[in-house]
Amino acid sequence: MSFKPALKTVVLALSAASFALSALAQWQWIDKDGRKVFSDRSPPSDIREKDILKRPGNRGSVAVAPVSETVGSSPAATASAPLKPGAPKLSGKDAQLEAKKKQAEAEEAAKKKAEDEKVAAAKAENCNTAKRYLTTLDSGVRIAETNASGEREVMGDSRRAEEKKRAQGLADTNCR
């Protein structure tokens, strides 16, 4: 006696049942153009209650209040009354999603602020360095540099003027 065909049948039946379970968590409504819409998310806030045909966990269409309950009440009171007591009101917005969005925006703002502070600190450091270098160049002290071959050379007047111009440009850029 072989159990392989029976096992195969059981596995196929279980997988088919799992696909059917996902179909239970579906919303169904009629949109403003008169078309049926199927979704796993709640309908937009502009969809009327009477146009919602199916909700998750609800096997059929939305229950309508019996006629005996609505006799003698105004149509406005009947239309605004909820279909089920304790049913959640749909605002069209997900509170958790909004909270996560606000948190992400706050984190992004904090990152931007930290980056701006880092840039400001680097500019301040570059400003101080440029000012000190300008002071050194203006003092008239002999400045020696090392050339490409490793030899020490004393900076001449033309080279000092070029360096002073370059340092002044750096100071102008970073000291604003």
Strand residue runs (E) in 4-161: 27-30, 36-39, 52-54, 144-146, 152-154
Whole-number percent of the chain with pLDDT over 70:
72
Secondary-structure breakdown of the chain: helix, strand, coil percentages, each rounded to the nearest 5: 55, 10, 35
CA distance 27 to 54: 5
Higher pLDDT, residue 95 or 66: 95
Q: Where are the domains positioned within the chain?
A: 4-92, 106-174
Range with lowest mean pLDDT among 70-74, 111-115, 142-146, 166-170: 70-74
**What's residue 79's pLDDT?**
47
Highest mean pLDDT pick, 42-51, 62-71, 117-126: 117-126
Going by pLDDT thresholds of 50, 70 and 90, the confidence category of residue 6 is confident
pLDDT at residue 115, as a whole number: 95
**Does residue 114 surpass a pLDDT of 90?**
yes
> Dihedral through CA 86, CA 26, CA 96, CA 103, nearest 10?
-170
Mean pLDDT confidence for 59-83 = 46
The 3-state DSSP class for residue 131 equals: helix
Q: Is 113's pLDDT higher than 90?
A: yes
Q: Which residue has the higher pLDDT, 33 or 61?
A: 33
pTM higher than 0.75 for the full model?
no
pLDDT tens for 81-108 read 445 555 555 556 688 888 999 999 999 9
